[in-house]
A = this chain, B = another copy of it.
Amino acid sequence: MKKLLLFGLGGCALFTVGILIGHFAIQQSDTDTSPVWVPEISQDVDESFIEKFIAEVDNMEIERNLKELTKVPHMATTKGDEETVQYVLKRWQDPTSGLDQAWREEYLVHLSFPDKNQKNSVKVDATLLLVTEREKNYTSDQNDPEVVQPYAAYSPAGHAKGKLIYANQGKTSDYEHLNNTLNLTGTIAIVRYGGAGRGAKAINAAPFGVIGVLVYTDPGDINDGLMSDLNETYPHSWYLPPSGVERGSYNSQFGDLLTPYLAAKQDTYRIPKETITGLPPIPTQPIGFEDAFKLICELGGEPSPESWHGGFNCTYNVGGPGFRASSIFNNSDVKMDIYNKEELKNSSNVMGVIRGSVEPDRYVIYGNHRDSWVHGAIDPSSGTAVMLEITRVLGKMVKEGKWRPRRSIIFGSWGAEEFGLIGSAEYTEEYYTKLFERSVAYINVDISVFGRYAFHSSVYDNWLQYFNRSSPTYGLIPNVGHLTGAGSDYAAFIHFLGITSMDISYTYDRSKTKARIYPAYHTAYDTFDYASKFIDPGFTSHQTVARTAGNVLLRLADSLLLPFNCSDYAESLEQYLQVALDNFQEELSKHGISMDPLKSAVLKFRLAATNLDRVIHQSDFAKETPYKIRRINDQLMLLDRAFLDPMAFPDKYAYRHVIWASRSSGLATFPGLADAFEGAKNSGLKQDWSKAHKHLSIVAQAIAGAASTLEEVI
């Protein structure tokens, strides 16, 4: 599960750290009569320490980490996964460069695997076998017996036989379009990745009578159209070879599916499997474009709309249903035999901590998943390699007695992310209250480097040049995205727990490639060889990410005043409000629904944020009590929590943040309101307008409540 974000951040913007730090160092008393703890508690972030940290981050160490982590395939709960558990534990328990403590936490979780003894297969007419067991071998990696057969995790086992149709990206609108002219009952749909979530492609299909779904990666979407493995694709370039298949979870919610809102321990209550929602109801299987090409370009029926066409040199006919009469397949059916099995398996998180010196009960959390689909050099090991380099440098400083953070730092190496962010979600369920009360922020670095994108200057200058926005307050500034989805392990932290979160990665130049994601994603080609040749030769981009993420981590852990800027939050709310007013106000007012409470709430928030900023800038922290500093830090730290409402999205599992929750609407505004408004607009039903009114009240109340936490505390 991934979502592309250059730098995504939910919550207070962090990019003003450079502005905030340094202003508030408390004047230290140097007499003996002052309590001994006065100097320590007044210590601000040490810029020279950050410089030292940056200097120590070593690209060659990251390369070594990556090589070790990617020796063998390490899909969740396999032998290879256990080897990475042991490796991370060994590193974090190292006597000279480890953390204060490291341990393993296990959850018994519901996973889905192909059957090793009975391979999934897709056939045309019982003869042409389209799905091979594994991708074609170029380096020895693809020959490892532990390479899992490409499959759609959580697709049901089953047998489907029917005429083929081409259904573009498997969106509901795609099936509706076909349904206008074709009878889809009993057909098998082939769809390309993109446009809709993996599981959604099958969920959308079933109501139209479709009985099976094949999903493939179109070379137009991933390879800038290149298709030949003779010279165009890996190992000749970063492009995906014809036999490459994107594996993935076809589950559409996060966390263990059998234990909603409960940590999946041995004896935990599990819901009946048949009550799980959001899974493909019909057999589903991913295939490579080598196979997809053979099918799609043989289809009969009308040519599909131009926008449905990908990189194949054919007209992407929609299907008769089935193949054209002149095809080598003539009138053949496509037959899918899927043998996936669901199993309860023990999955491990590895946890490590550095205890804070002054505020050990304030946590800065840094995490990434450890499990991959195959070797996972980029996803997720590029992130783990970076994390291990950060912990090596910091661990060494701690072991040498040279440094200890003001606040505690928790590192999490999550298990079973690929199946649905399971390890991180179970962790947040098990320690909900503790994390809720004490977490300053969560930093996620999953895929740390998506591609080559040479930095000509500083991270800041590049950021400003390539990913910027125009702020009413600051003018042109680096943009910080919003974490509105569930693309990686930050989801449970921001959406379920309301912890200010950041997802950091180094991406590629989208003006130079149209690739949806790096081409080897979730295939047997995502290897150390691939990473070191085509993603980051020399590992300097990894080094840049380690330095940047570590820099953020250290400022969050060591700054006297937390580097959060709440006026930036107000700016985001004002932008959301403006979009909402422009798009909804007139129509809502026709239905007797006033947007005034939302307007007042955003204004109240803006005033409170401005006031808090004023208090911060006018305070002489050198003379203030620790309780005042803690009070303001708590206002900043807990701000995102104020937007949680466990009743806001009864249909969206574990989404509680009313500002950053996922939305179906394309409008960048309050998600519950936008979706409810569009629902009402479509149906015209009174109860749907009531839902829009309800969401308006929910979001207005959340914003007003958040504003009241920023006001003078009493």
Binding site for B on A (CB under 8 A): 29, 31, 33-38, 40-41, 259, 261-263, 265-269, 272, 353, 355-356, 358-361, 363, 408, 410, 429-434, 437-438, 594, 596-597, 623-627, 630-631, 634-635, 638, 641-642, 644-647, 690, 693-694, 696-698, 701, 704-706, 708-709, 713-714
Contacts and interface: CB of A to CB of B under 8 A. Distances in A.
A437 B269 contact: no
Given A35-B38, A269-B690, A433-B706, 20 more contacts: A29-B34, A31-B34, A33-B34, A34-B34, A261-B645, A269-B693, A272-B690, A356-B714, A358-B625, A358-B627, A359-B631, A361-B631, A361-B634, A361-B713, A408-B714, A430-B705, A431-B708, A433-B641, A434-B705, A627-B630
A694 B41 CA distance: 45
Contacts of A269: 690, 693-694, 696-697
A453 B360 CA distance: 50
Contact of A594 (B31, B267, B634, B694): B267
A359 B696 CA distance: 35
Given A262-B697, A431-B705, A634-B437, A714 B626 contact: no
Given A36-B623, A361-B714, A638 B433 contact: yes
26 contacts: A31-B33, A31-B34, A37-B624, A37-B625, A40-B625, A259-B697, A267-B594, A267-B596, A268-B597, A269-B697, A355-B714, A359-B627, A360-B631, A360-B713, A360-B714, A361-B713, A363-B714, A408-B713, A433-B642, A433-B644, A433-B709, A437-B709, A625-B626, A626-B626, A626-B627, A646-B647
A640 to B, nearest CB: 10
A433 B705 contact: yes
A9 to B, nearest CB: 21
A635 B410 CA distance: 19
A37 B693 CA distance: 49
Nearest to A650: B650
A249 to B, nearest CB: 24
A356 B694 CA distance: 37
B698 A262 contact: yes
A512 B696 CA distance: 56
Contacts of A410: 714
Given A433-B642, A631-B360, A631-B361, A35 B34 contact: yes
A36 B624 CA distance: 9
A356 B634 CA distance: 17
Contacts of A438: 713
Contacts of A696: 269
Contacts of A645: 261
A270 B626 CA distance: 44
A438 B33 CA distance: 33
Contacts of A635: 361
Contacts of A429: 701
A625 B265 CA distance: 38
Contacts of A267: 594, 596-597, 697
A498 to B, nearest CB: 9
A100 to B, nearest CB: 8
Contacts of A624: 37
A636 to B, nearest CB: 12
A701 B355 contact: no
A429 to B, nearest CB: 8
Nearest to A597: B267
Contacts of A430: 701, 704-705
A433 B702 CA distance: 9
Contacts of A263: 701
A269 B690 CA distance: 8
A685 to B, nearest CB: 13
Most buried by B among A35, A594, A644, A709: A35
Contacts of A268: 597, 697, 701
Nearest to A28: B35
Contacts of A272: 690
A588 to B, nearest CB: 11
A436 to B, nearest CB: 8
A693 B645 CA distance: 26
Nearest to A632: B361
Nearest to A438: B713
Most buried by B among A361, A623, A693, A704: A361
